[in-house]
Amino acid sequence: MAEPTFISSITYQEPKKMYRWLEDAFGFEPAMVICDADGDIAHAEMSFGDGRIMVGYPWDVTVSPLAVNGANTQRVHVYMDGDIDAHCERARAAGAAIVAEPADQFYGARTYRAKDLEGHLWTFAQEVKVVTPQEWDAQMGLTSTTRLPE
């Protein structure tokens, strides 16, 4: 498998617990774990489709949302195949907080949003209908381009 261009790094206060939870709740696949002499994670990666994330402890200026009253500066958006409603129920059963129930979007995806056990925000999306930018522009009063207008 080719290395992805981008890998999101997710910081957890309890990365070992969350590594296992991400597999159980969201279906991430273990890809690599390097442990130190104490058995703690030194470096860990998980995959979902052709995407990848790193899972680790806080360091320098990265912290878990638990350390900053639940604040997030990013969310991870995951495109998926399969039954997104069943995926949402799997996540809910594992303890994820579902902050937006599965719903069809104007751009042709069905999405839901969830917070993991430490408060990171995740969006899962599944294409359910092919909609062109011209169609969603007309429907929503938008203007889609590849560059920002001057």
Architecture of domain 8-56+73-140: Roll (3.10)
Per the DSSP assignment, residues forming a β-bridge with 103 are 111
Q: How far is CA 38 from CA 34, 35, 41, 42, 54, in A?
A: 11, 8, 9, 10, 20
3/116: higher pLDDT = 116
Domain parsing of the chain, residue ranges:
8-56+73-140
Give the model confidence (pLDDT) of 18-40 as tens digits.
Answer: 999 999 999 999 999 999 999 99
Give the model confidence (pLDDT) of 125-145 as tens digits.
Answer: 999 999 999 999 999 999 999
